[in-house]
A = this chain, B = another copy of it.
C-alpha cells in the first residue's frame, strides 16, 4: 500500500492525483458502508427519493448516474430492507413507482451522518476553507 516517491511526471498529472484520491475515498466508503450493512448507491437512491419524491427507476438512475440494471439490484436490496416500496404505477403500468418509507427516511439520515463523517477522514489534511474550495472546483469541472 505504501508508495515510494512517485515519478514527478506522474505526480504532476491531475488525472493521476484524482484517480488515487478517488480510489482511496472509494475504499474507505465501501468499507464503512459494508460495516453499516449498506452500499454507497443506497444513499444516493434514498437521497433522490427524499429530495424529489416518488419516482420511476429510470428517473432515479438518471439523477444519480446509476445504470438501470444496477438500479434494479440496489432496489431489490432496499426493498428487502423495507426502506423503499416498489409498486406498479397505476397511471403508467410500465413504470414502478419507488417510494421512500419511514424506515427509509431514518436510514437516509443514518447513512448521511456516516458518510459525512467519512468525508472528514478523507479530507483530513485540508482546512475547512480548503475543503470548500476543492468541492467548488470539482463541481465546476463536472459542469
Cβ-neighbour of A63 out of B7, B12, B125 (below 8 A): B7
A73 in the interface (beta carbon within 8 A): no
Among the listed stretches A75-83, A87-95, A135-143, which one makes contact with chain B, having 4 or more residues with CB under 8 Å of it? Answer: A135-143
User: A7-B52, A52-B7 are known contacts. Are A137 and B140 too (CB-CB below 8 A)?
Assistant: no
Is residue A35 contacting chain B, with contact meaning CB distance below 8 A?
Answer: no
- Majority SS at the chain A contact face: helix
A37 in the interface (beta carbon within 8 A): no
Q: A48-65 toward B: CB 8 Å interface, digit per residue (1/0)? A: 101110000001001111
> Does B6 contact A63, Cβ atoms closer than 8 Å?
yes
Residues of A within 8 A of B (CB): 2-26, 28-29, 43-44, 47-48, 50-52, 59, 62-65, 112, 115-116, 118-119, 122-123, 125-126, 130-131, 133-135, 137-143
